Amino acid sequence: MKSTSKADFEVAVVGGGPSGSTAALVLARSGARVIVIDKAQFPRDKACGDVIGPKAVRILETLGVSRPADAIDLSDVAIVGPSGAAIRLPSEAGLDYSGIGWSCPRTSFDAHLLQAAVTNGACVRTARVEKIGSDSRRFELRLSDGTEVTSDYLIGADGSNSSTATQLDLVDSASLLLGFAARSYVTGKVELPTISLWNSDKRRLFPGYGWAFPSFGGRLNLGVGVGVGSNRKLGAAATKQVPIYAEMLYRTGIIEKPPTLGPLLGGWIKMGSSGTKAALGNALLVGDAAGFVNPLQGEGIAQAIASGKAAAEVILAGYGRPAKQYQNWIDDNLAPYQRAASVLHRLALQSPALASVATSVLFAKPLESVIASTWGIFWNDLADGAGRISGAGSARTLLKMLNYVDLLSNRYAPRP
Ligand SMILES: Cc1cc2nc3c(=O)[nH]c(=O)nc-3n(C[C@H](O)[C@H](O)[C@H](O)COP(=O)(O)OP(=O)(O)OC[C@H]3O[C@@H](n4cnc5c(N)ncnc54)[C@H](O)[C@@H]3O)c2cc1C
């Protein structure tokens, strides 16, 4: 990949994952001088279920990014409940999303997207950004290779533990809604991409879920994610659950052979835009750095790509006040769902017994077709762009109701 010794840029992007690469691609294509700085040499691995959701696929198509060679198409998904009952969530194209998602190992997906940015003219440097300074007009980034980069604008795309967000004082760690997830690859296949909800004891829903997604080359990406609120000490539970979950998949006949797990890789997930201010002056946070991950199912790549594109477009529009314009975009496009899904996530954390009862209702046979279509749209954050397809109306109603609950709970919450 192209490297540069030039230290002065219009835009410096910290992090070359999906959010940073998309921002760089859009900026570079319009002629901006942009550098992506990532501490890892690409291709690099990243803990993930490797599902590139339907919104992400659509945005990548509109940006002219091709499908990576080792991506496979995914459509319907099976959700298995605590009783073993399963529900099939249908996949259908909406107004702003594709009818399919991709399963693609992050090693190749992220390198593919970064390469697309480079092909469009972005520069890349492999180094850790150690210190970010700024005067009223420019940013000064000190890198681990001893060099400095200066820029007019800064995009923080450095993931859930973003040091850009910390250094710019944009994070309140006590208010974060965190999850930890770990995955492994195993040889095997499943009839449909499978997500399992289960109870840790008879009356308490395990606050998270397990997944087994088909992957390139006859493998499965198999993992577990748990919600931990803001308590990082609880994250280790996910790693411990992966072998238990793998065994359960075999015991319940979802996979045919006893799985032999490969190495486990885990990572933090910052959800629901919680505890993070996404923009300040000429600095914009995108993707996981801003905590845009879906609080219900852990998807973050679509939001990473969408926010990277939006941040780039706001800078290119030359408003002079990109933070305000970017925050408006977030308020219009991401915030309503992030708020609604956070209400449900926090409820499941606070009342696992209630969540357990509610989950069993979701698998009630007589309601199956209504629930499946609404669920597929709502929890994948597709309600706004779903047009008139089945389940869209009820998903939008649920979205509105939960936003109302959020509004009321903020208004009447006891003040510290
Ligand atoms: C186990 C697990 C499973 C998941 N499964 C899915 C899934 O199936 N589908 C989905 O959509 N989402 C999933 N997610 C979420 C998804 O991985 C993220 O939302 C997505 O990676 C966000 O992209 P990003 O570009 O914002 O950040 P990242 O992909 O995390 O990229 C950040 C980059 O910043 C670099 N960096 C960090 N600090 C510095 C620094 N100081 N200097 C320079 N570089 C730095 C890192 O090396 C990295 O390359 C999962 C997450 C986990 C942990």
**For a pLDDT cut of 70, what percent of the chain falls above it?**
96
Extract the runs of DSSP E, i.e. beta strands, from 263-327.
265-270, 279-280, 283-285
CA of 147 to the centre of ligand 1 (A): 25
Residue 241 lies in a domain: yes
Q: Enumerate residues lining ligand 1, CB below 6 A.
A: 14-20, 37-40, 46-51, 53, 128-129, 157-159, 163, 181-183, 223, 267, 269, 287-289, 293, 298-302, 304
Q: 323 with 390, same domain?
A: no
High-pLDDT (> 90) share of the chain, %: 78
pLDDT value, residue 367: 77
Q: What confidence score (pLDDT) does residue 4 get?
A: 46
Q: pLDDT averaged over the chain?
A: 92
∠ CA 286-288-289, nearest 5°, is: 60
- Low-confidence winner among 97-106, 168-177, 318-327 (lowest mean pLDDT): 318-327
Pair (192, 213) in one structural domain:
yes
Judge whether 128 lies within some domain: yes
- And the tokens for 201? 């004891």
As a whole number, mean pLDDT of residues 144-148 equals: 95
Which pLDDT value is given to residue 275?
A: 94
Ligand 1 atom having least distance to the Cα of 307: 26
Domain shared by 300 and 161, yes or no: yes
Q: What is the CATH number of the domain that holds 129?
A: 3.50.50.60
Query: 251 and 374 in one domain?
Result: no
pLDDT in tens, 79-115: 998 888 899 999 999 999 999 999 999 999 999 999 9
pLDDT of 222: 97
Is pLDDT above 60 for 400? Answer: yes
**What mean pLDDT do residues 115-133 have?**
98
pLDDT of the residue at 200: 66
Establish if 256 belongs to a structural domain: yes
Tokens read off for 392: 């869209």
Q: Which residue has the higher pLDDT, 356 or 75?
A: 75
Q: What's the total number of domains in the chain?
A: 3
Question: Confidence class of residue 41 from pLDDT cuts 50, 70 and 90?
Answer: very high
**Nearest Cα residue to atom 8 of ligand 1:** 49
Q: Tell me the C-alpha distance between 176 and 307, whole Å.
A: 19
**Is residue 281 located within the same domain as residue 360?**
no
Query: pLDDT at residue 205 above 70?
Result: no
| CATH, residue 228 | 3.30.9.10
Q: Which domain holds residue 260?
A: 177-268
Co-location of 195 and 65 in the same domain: no
| Ligand 1 pocket test target in 115, 185, 195, 301 with most atoms within 8 Å of CB | 301
Q: Is residue 89 part of a domain?
A: no
Predicted pLDDT at 320: 75
Ligand 1 centre to CA of 17 (Å) is: 6
Pairwise pLDDT comparison (55 vs 348), residue with the higher score = 55
Strand partners, 215: 219
Longest dimension (CA), the chain: 65
Residue 41 within a domain: yes
Distance, in Å, from the CA atom of 107 to the CA atom of 115, rounded to the nearest integer, reads 12
The answer as to whether 308 is a domain residue is yes
Of 345 and 366, the structure prediction assigns the larger pLDDT to 345
User: How far is Cα of residue 147 from the mean position of the Cα atoms in its chain?
Assistant: 31
Residue 41 Cα, ligand 1 centroid: separation in angstroms?
Answer: 15
Distance CA 44, CA 124 (A): 14
Distance 26 CA to ligand 1 centre (A): 19
Predicted TM-score (pTM) of this structure: 0.95
pLDDT class of 20 with cuts at 50, 70, 90 = very high
Domain assignment present for residue 82? The answer is no
Alpha helices in 16-131 (DSSP H): 18-29, 54-62, 106-119
Boundary residue ending a domain (242, 268, 294): 268
Which of 82-86, 147-151, 158-162 has the weakest average pLDDT?
A: 82-86
Same domain, 217 and 355: no
Q: Amino acid identity, residue 185?
A: Y
How would residue 235 be classed by pLDDT, with cut points 50, 70 and 90? confident
Reported as a pLDDT band with limits 50, 70 and 90, residue 184 is very high
Summarised one tens digit per residue, pLDDT across range 42-57 is 999 999 999 999 999 9
Structure tokens at 155: 């995009």
Residues 58 and 142 in one domain: yes
Residues 159 and 304 in one domain: yes
pLDDT at 414 over 80: no
Among 60, 144, 154, 158, name the best residue to mutate to test ligand 1's pocket (greatest count of ligand atoms within 8 A of Cβ): 158
Query: What is the mean pLDDT of the segment spanning 350-378?
Result: 84
64 and 130, same structural domain? yes
Q: Give per-residue pLDDT as tens, 258-305.
A: 999 999 999 999 999 999 999 999 999 999 999 999 999 999 999 999
* Average confidence (pLDDT) over 368-375: 87
Identify the domain boundary among 246, 268, 290: 268
Residue 203 scores a pLDDT above 80 = no
Q: Do the domain assignments include residue 86?
A: no
Q: Give the pLDDT of residue 3.
A: 45
Residues 160 and 285 in one domain: yes
Ligand 1 atom closest to 127 (CA) = 43
Same domain as 141, residue 213: no
Whether the predicted pLDDT of 413 surpasses 70:
no
Kindly list the distances between the CA atom of residue 389 and the CA atoms of 165, 203, 366, 376, in Å, as whole numbers in the listed order: 39, 35, 20, 11
The residue among 309, 335, 361 that closes a domain is 335
